[in-house]
Amino acid sequence: MVQIVDRAINRIGPVFIAIALVLLAMCVFCYYLVVFPYTHRWSDAGFLGKIYIATMLAWSAYMVYCIFFHYYMAIVTSPGNVLDRPGMDPRLRADESDPAIAESHQQEDTETSIREVLLELEEYSVYPKTCKKCHLPKPERAHHCSICNSCVLKFDHHCPWIHNCVGHNNHRYFVLFMTYLVVSATYFALAAWRPFIIALDFINTEWPYYYPRPLVAFSYILAICMGVAIAALCAWHYYLLLTGQTTVEFYNNQYEKGLHKTQGEIFVNMYDFGVKENFKIFFNISDKNPWYSVLIPVPVPPKGSGRIFEKCQEFSLLPTNRQHQYFQVQAEYSDIEDGVKDV
């Protein structure tokens, strides 16, 4: 039954994307065809007023672009596969007409990738390196997605609205998409309440805008509902990234915290470097990517390969047997979760 649901979610993914794009476009058209002309009257504005209107127009265009850019990147960016190799472009051999040669080259790439992954994970011999589902090396924080049928690096969850997993490579785009959407929805709700009230006044038939009244009312309600729902999800993901966790790890860590507490021990999240450092790691803020890179809608790769992650100082100070125990527990949770999905 679960497999049937997984296949259905995978196939219906493009439909979810189409619905999301239609709803977003509806609010954008409502803003530019009704809300902006109503709240910013160019003909009545003075010189400073015109500068303000032009600034607001540029700001709103920037927000719209950021929303669609990060949504697009969250969709098309692979969350991270175990066999991904830096610099390897799968299109290089796309023109091979002989299927046998193409298959041979693909097998060579796979074998080379496996060797590279095993060499990279060699020092972590305590951690199991094989996924029981896809039978490939399985790095730390990776989980097998039953919908995509592959192991995803730093797996957070599978999102049908992007028809993709949220993982190591695209988690940043997913969070920024939600961030810009929540800010824009809040601004839209504050700026559009008067046009919304006027749109509900069906007694007065005068309506100087091309955008229909019912769509204005629907867009306003949609923006509020969408803003509230996504704000909650966005806040949740900021809590996770600021505490160095994924959604999967949060529930495991909560259980482990309770277990350690009953044993009189303190649980240490090996990936938690503190709020500020966690923020910089997640958004890959560095000398190459300064803090304002978060505000620029350009592709920014994540920090690291997604196979091996730095450990915090508190974890490094633990005895070796405790460190090994943490890795073992992490592996056991991963196996349990991957097994439950196929029940």
Q: What positions carry a catalytic annotation?
A: 159
Residue 243 token pair: 């505490």
DSSP annotation string for 20-34: HHHHHHHHHHHIIII
Asked whether the CA dihedral 287, 293, 299, 303 is positive or negative, the reply is positive
Beta-carbon-side half-sphere exposure of residue 208 (alpha carbons within 13 Å): 4
Q: List the Cα angle 36/38/39 in 5-degree steps.
A: 65
Taking the alpha carbons of 254, 256, 259, 261 in that order, is the dihedral positive or negative? negative
Q: Which residues pair with 144 in a beta bridge?
A: 151
Distances (CA, A) of 131 to 88, 97, 136, 137, 335: 23, 33, 5, 6, 8
The answer to whether the beta carbons of residues 179 and 199 sit under 8 Å apart is no
DSSP 145: E
DSSP secondary structure, 223-280, as one string: HHHHHHHHHHHHHHHHHHHHTT--HHHHHHHHHHHHHHHHTT-----TT---HHHHHH
Let me know: does 195 contact 211? Beta carbons within 8 Å. no
H or E element in which residue 101 lies? helix 99-120
